[in-house]
Structure 1
Amino acid sequence: MIHPVWTQIAWTLLWAGFLGLQFILSAAEDVKDVQHSPVLHKQKREWRYNILLAFEELPPQNLPQQIGQLLNTRAGTNTQFKISGEGVDGVNDLFAVNKAGEIFVMATLDREKKSSYKLKAHLVDTITKQPLDDDIEFTVKVQDVNDHAPVFSETYTGSIRERSRQGAAVLTVRATDADDPTSPNGNVTYKLLNGIQYFSIHSTTGEITVQDNKLDRETQSQYILTVQASDLPGSPGGLSTTTIVTININDINDNMATFKKGFFSFKVRENEGPQFTVGTLPVEDRDEKQNKKPTFIVQNFNDIFYVEPDDQSDGALKLRKNLDYETSSTYSFKVEVREDNVAQPPDNQGSMLTTVQVYITVIDVDKPPVFSKAEYTFDVLEGPIRNKVIGSVSARDPDRTNYRIK
């Protein structure tokens, strides 16, 4: 298969035979029509020319390559055309002209290093070495071929909130192409090679946007996209390159906190004090920790029990005051979980368990006997003691067992 660069060159070389018309030394007198000569003319005799074109990257076997023709009515047996200027130093000349005035490219050019050359044309007498006409400047413009692929200077990382609207911008990628930016060779377009159901990319600006508001961090928290940059858009023979784009999905509060089961049962000793944690009511919330904000409501007995979120945002069931086994040995109540500011509808709608039944069993603790009074006072008469009993104290067992007191 012929490389597209050489295909492009081959078609262009068909025009080489016409380049001699681009650089003419006319002998006509008083010529006034010089619109196609953009730089210089004179009244008696004029140089007419367009910019000479030379392709870059010509292989050595195709050199030298003719790019133009000098003509002058004074040219003859004892005259010689010469050129000077950029790329003509007498040692490693890039350009040369023969006795017939044919201008040649002598070496491979690189437009990305130098895109044009300023030269002068001379006609001299080979005997006297004197010029036969004024010198004229002309330009050799190096024509671009598609010899550079687009280049990404980096890989990219961006982020976007889950549930973002369609069209929300994520980030912009950019590739550069060393070829002529004014030609299709340097015209870069972009394409996503994967993830097109979630993201899209603008073909010319490289901006990546959300394709649909289906982003769900709990389903997929990161996307690795491959972006392709290509030149020669819409034409065969284009060159391309790729880069990796990592997109992280940021969490929002779009899952309602729910209990993991419908009932919980705990045992607690009656001698535990306020703020004691009776047990934990685990909840399920797929959001990240900073977006888990449940609140808990105890229905009935909220003067004795309360629930607050712990470090894991589960419900910590705690005591407001001491329990008394002899007053009540069991408790049964419901606890509700709520969460405000959840995106609607929540992702877990239809599977939410927001109320649970809680059973509490109070464990009896053997308490010490209790005297009927804190202090007893007895009076005894002085003198001989006839009755050895001077008084009595009483105590009782506060436990339900009501053991005898010694």
Structure 2
Amino acid sequence: MRGLDLEVTVSENPRLDYETQSNYALLIYVVDNKGNTDFQTLTVLLSDVNEPPRFLDNLANGAVYVDFLENLAVDAMIYEVQATDPDRADVLSYSVNSPLVTINPNGKNGVILAAKTFDYEKDFHSFSVLVTVKDAAGNNVTGIVVVNLINVNDNWPVFKQNKMTFDISEEKPPNSVIGKVTAYDADDNGTSSSLIYVMNTANRFFTIDSVTGELIVSAIIDRDNRPFRDVPTQEFEVAAKDSPSGGHTAWVTVKIIIRDVNDNQPFCFPHTHSIQVPETIEKGTTIVTISCKDNDVDLANSQFTISLQPGLKTGVRFALDGKNNSTIVVIGDLDFEAVTTLDDDNVYVMSVVVTDIAPPHYQDTVTVYITVMPVNEFRPSFTQTSYTFNISEFSEIGTKVGQVLAEDKDFPVLELIYSLIGGGSTLSYSQLFWINPTSGEIHLVAQPDYEATAQYFLTVQAVEIDPDDPKAATTTVTVSILPTNDEPPECQPKFYSLVIFDDIAVGTNIQGFQLSCTDRDSSPQSLRYSITLGNINNHFRLSPNAGSNITKLILALPFDYTHGVDKVTDYKLIVQITDDNLLTGSTERKVIQTGRVRINIRVIIPTPSTQETTTTPNITYIRLSQNTYQADAWYIPFLITLCCLLLLGMLGYLTHLLAKYIRSMPKSKIKKKPLIEEQEPKKKKKKKHSVIVEMITCNTIFDGEAVDPVTGNVYQYSTNSGARRWKDTKLPLNDYGNAAAETLNFRPSTDKINGTTLTQNSHLKDVDAAQNAQQKTPNDQTPPKTPSKLGKQTKVAPQIPEPPQAQNSLANV
């Protein structure tokens, strides 16, 4: 292993001090690149060295500055030097190099004393002292003490004059300097820089700058008013102090003389004269007297002259009186009817100018207004004998309808007030129009309705604003309401229910249904029809779809339930009717109204039955009627009783006609034939007797219509209770009977009572009689066969669509 030399050095901070620590033990630790280590202890011993003394006060950091008052006694302490010897407790000695100071006589405590009495005005204001501190071995340390003398106020201020006079003019602006008073102080080397100036008494018009001694105007001085109008001279004393708390003070008397200037303009009261004179006033009559004065104290500044400056066309009518130039008199003709000789609005304006004789020639102006009062001679007249205005019925409240204008030939023209004194009333509004009383503009206060009132005839009056003799004129105003499309199409009733078979041919008018609509403000040619909802697979369309108030529901595409193309059997169509048929009018129509109709369509899919019968089953129909009403509705019992009486009368009449019809039939021609063809003779089965009961709720409000799928007759129903009745009550009774028998034959019920089938209806009726009436044909004519689609199987009729809360299609027959 190679040798390794290590060197230990002394750092600069902190420095080695024997008195603080005399030896150090250093542990040296060595590590090579293989990880081998070794350590050794190095002991360092310090040797003591004799050091010079050290300052313990601010002299250790540099020069020390001491402030010393003048006029202090000899041997007054200026500064005390503090030092120490770091080696041992030796006795230190102190010395200074300046004759102005001394060291304490024992020379050991370091106290610096004044060697004389200092005067700030005569001696140097600052001097330096070199202080030396030695130990017993002769080692020393030096420092500098800088002594600054402080001036002491020991002299009195002095004014050069005992009295000072200033001559100023009035109306000096505030903060203006009048003059300056100056005192001197020996303590300030003959200057007044440190003196404070004050006034002996408070004065709101004058003040003094406490530093500069400048006399300043603190408020505007008006020589023409008190206190200066009677006493134009102000006198007071000013003091100069060398200390804010008192000290030494000197006084001087200040006198201020105020001179008058021409600072007031002539003042006239009142400044405006407004005079009304009749047109018949005589020449030479005094109109007005001008009264003026000048407030200046000096007579030379209070003299003025008066002159008249007439306005347009007034120079030949008015002038100052030659004897008294402060009076205005009439010198011309003021005939009001001579319009060309009058000023605007019949008012004459003149200016009377009052001017100071002394500069700067202030002026005051008096304005005189002379109004010639006219005579109201003419009635107002409208610019037209009558007015005609047109306005759309869509106009909003506040819309301007038009404007009427009346004129007055009097000069000057009198203001007119317009008012509506007749016409303008309509349904629900006592007054549809309002007129601006000053401009004559007519506005709407409610929205008009063409369908209610198409034309209004108004009477407008214009009245002059003349409290003595108001004259009036009237005119007629015709306001025509222009029709607009604000009424929607209406179709009644708004609900329909239809039933069709799935094999209906394309193009067929479904059960003869047609929709009839009206529009109060549109022609039938403007109506347009569209199915907006529920037309699944587009099976239905309306024809015509535009240009007519009547449209039919047509099957557009056939149904296909066999292959699964169609799955829905209940169609709820929403038909939208709009009055915006663009084929019949302008393409720029902006207002469109819409109506809606709901049509429910049920598609019947006949289902073959596996049961074969050889005889027509006997069915007994039991029709029960149940009336529901609210107990608190007093009129319901009366209506129910009335309906029951009418129903009993109708049933009795129908029974009489049916019995008469059956008796008139030849017994040899009555044959019972089955509704379906038999495939082969079978064993005769036991005859069944069925009872059908149908329960309905009667209600007197029928708001829907539907078509019976068998007879094609139209019946009405209530969407609330489900009650039904034939729409055309003038059909023969046998038509109603056939429709009832055929319709009720489609609704067998599964409920049985004593072996009979029950369904709800409004009365009991034997089925055989109904079937005999149905199967009766002249000359034993064979009834029509069932559709070939069913073959020889029994045809089971589909269920009839039920409106809301309905259980029978022939409830009120």
Question: Shorter-chain TM-score: which interval?
Answer: 0.3 to 0.5
- Say which one has the larger Rg: 2
- Per the normalisation by structure 2, the TM-score is 0.25
Larger RCO (alpha carbons 8 Å, 6+ apart): 1
